[in-house]
Amino acid sequence: MEKKVTQNPDDLRGLSLLTNAYMSLRRYTDAVPLFERWQTLDENNADLLARYADALAMANNGDLRGKPTALLERALQINPNQIQALWLAAMAADEQDNLSATLMYLTHLQGLVVDNKEAHQEVTTMIASARSRATASGLALPPTSGTDTALNPSAPPARLSVLVELNPAVGQQVNTTDTVFVYARPIDGSKMPIAITRRRAVEFPLRVILDDSLAVMPSQKLSDVEQVEVVARISRTGNAMPTRGDIIGVTRPVTVNTVDTVTVTLSDVIP
């Protein structure tokens, strides 16, 4: 395939097949020049621009600043509803603490995934998290349809110490540029996370603290429930929406405020 592309550098099908192969193999630095060539032959393809931006970022340890951001902006000018571009643009804005832009992109994305229940819930979670951080930083935001509940000053501070371990059987599938989401969700009712944090898959075991400062929605915090499941998920793309190939681990029900460290093992691959 590489030989064919070298011999026919303007063959769009060949470029597509080889870049897809490189991305699947995580050969991002090899994929970048092919995306660049492909893009010169198909300049107004929003899907291609989003994928090119993703490849550039992954080749640079997940950094979306600079050219990747410019490519995403152009992709959204061509197609404001390009889902991958919206998600990556939200990530780029979030990494630069531009919460207004993060919320703008995520809110638009939320309206595009209403038919995908799981994806819609994940985006809703990220919006709530961004709003919570924006409020904490003093950023004025438009009101939502929900109502905030006051903190109970008599309630003990909720806290879970979590140790995330990686099963060696799946360890070779993990790259240091992957994203690790760690969150707690109620045992009963909605499975929407109530406390969430995000890390890079740089080193395992990974230790995190989940508490009320990481609440997804002001109306439901860790201190509001007695038991939770703790979930860890490795995303190859950094996408909040679970996708095929992600590695996940879920604990049995644990009591909030337990003095013991909660261990969750990443061992299952989403089919």
pLDDT over threshold 60, residue 202:
yes
In a domain, 147, yes or no: no
Q: How many domains does the chain have?
A: 2
**Residue 214: both structure tokens together:** 């990481």
- Quick one: 131 and 167 in the same domain? no
> Is position 145 within any domain?
no
pTM of the model: 0.53
Q: Of the candidates 136, 168, 202, which is a domain's last residue? A: 136
In a domain, 78, yes or no: yes
Instruction: Give the per-residue pLDDT at 18.
Output: 84
Residue 153: inside a domain: no
Q: Which long-range contacts (CB under 8 A, 24 or more apart) does 55-64 make?
A: 55/19, 55/23, 55/28, 55/31, 56/32, 57/88, 58/26, 58/28, 58/177, 59/28, 59/29, 59/31, 59/32, 61/176, 61/177, 62/177, 62/179, 62/200, 62/238, 64/88, 64/91, 64/92, 64/95
Mean of per-residue pLDDT scores for the chain: 82
Average pLDDT of the segment spanning 92-98: 84
* Domain ranges, residue 262: 159-269
CATH of the domain at 60: 1.25.40.10
The answer to whether residue 228 scores a pLDDT higher than 70 is yes
239-256 pLDDT, tens digit per residue, is 767 788 999 999 999 999
Residue 258's pLDDT is: 78
What is the C-alpha to C-alpha distance for residues 71 and 78, in angstroms, rounded to an integer?
A: 11
- Using one digit for the tens of pLDDT, what is the confidence trace for 143-187? 543 333 333 333 446 788 899 999 989 988 998 888 899 999 998
Has residue 213 got a pLDDT over 50?
Answer: yes
